[in-house]
Amino acid sequence: MTGVWLLSWRYVAHHRAQTAILVICLALPVFLPLGTMWVVDRYQSELVVRAGSTPLVAGAKGNRFDLAMVALYFRAGPGNAISWAQLEEIQESGLALPIPINVRHSARGRPIVGTSPEYFELRRLRPRTGTLPLCLGDVVLGARVAEELGLAPGGKLASDQKSHHDISKPTALRMSICGVLRKTGTADDGAVFVDVRTTWVLEGLVHGHRAASKVDPNRVIGKTDHLVHLSPSLIPHQEVTPDNVRNFHYHGPTHALPLSAIIVIPHDLKGRTLLKARFNATKRWQMLEPVEVIEELMGFVFKVKVFLDAYAGVLAIVTSIMAMLVIALSLRLRKAEMRTLDRIGCSRGMVFLLHAVETLTVLVLSVLLASGALLILAASLPQLSKVIE
């Protein structure tokens, strides 16, 4: 048997190209279905866990997938905004605790999430250094954002300018970094968080400038005993400081201020049912359970997975046929070698055993290659899952 293993290994090692092709082709049908299953299971577990910790989400009527992704992963969708008045309505009902989510701007490519302190309690987010946003213009960084940008408390972070050519758009706002959150391995690591009022400053709804009495008279369009009309050309403050924070204000009714979504934490099952019925009965708003949306989304993914599994099965059959064809052709080409073995006294059983060991060696190498690829995939899954963040 030692001689058989030695001859088999020498043959496999000598024909490197042929062996490599066989090993790769046989490893793929093993790797593809298992790798697909691992990736899908990883995404499903992460999506369901995050969705499960978010009881209800309210927003404008539209695509429910967009609304769920805004609230869970800060993916700004094309849908309309829900007004602050709806948040006040939920709060005044006494049936649930509403948490605002406003995601319309970014800072160096990372989403700026406007919310309230209750959000950090919901997600169990704690600052690793510094504090949570305490006032207008403060920003706390997710762990991955701080690591990638090399920022720390005490520094500054400017929002991204939405348009460099439209002068009617608000300018970028320089925000003060007040803290860095602990790493959680979720979408929160890749976002920057501010008080919801700061997002309204970014949108130009809330702005600050010098007191009307100190403005250049040429900037005053009109004036009455109770109101001063200032020119739109007046440049607002581009940073919130202790000296100018009192100058920030909003011209309009507070209940009209926009939000991307509202996370709703009902106090009991009755409140959950009543709120869903009230919101979904209207033509403008909707309230949904993120778990149901994610399960529906994963249903589409599993349909694709069934196709991939079928494809992997067909690939396995085709690969097996090709491997048998290669082995058959190899046997024909090795007739002279087999005659030599027969002349030196090798039995037919020994020749058959030689071929069997060669085939077994190729199969073992294929399994080792597939296992190595699966181990690499398993180690890369945490990085791959960041695609959905």
**Low-confidence residues of the chain: pLDDT under 70:** 1-5, 7-8, 11, 77-79, 163-170, 206-252, 331, 333-335, 337-352, 381-389
pLDDT at 223: 55
The structural domains of the chain, with segments of one domain joined by +, span: 2-47+297-388, 56-288
pLDDT at 233: 47
* Helix/strand number for the chain, H first, E second: 11, 16
**How do residues 258-279 score in pLDDT, each as one tens digit?**
899 999 999 999 989 999 999 8
Asked if residues 153 and 130 have their Cβ atoms less than 8 Å apart, the reply is yes
Q: Which of 231, 323, 289, 252 is nearest to 22 (CA)?
A: 323
Q: How far is 131 from 119, CA to CA, in rounded Å?
A: 14
pLDDT at 383: 65
Helix (H, G, I), strand (E, B) or coil at 237: coil
pLDDT at 113: 95
pLDDT at 77: 60
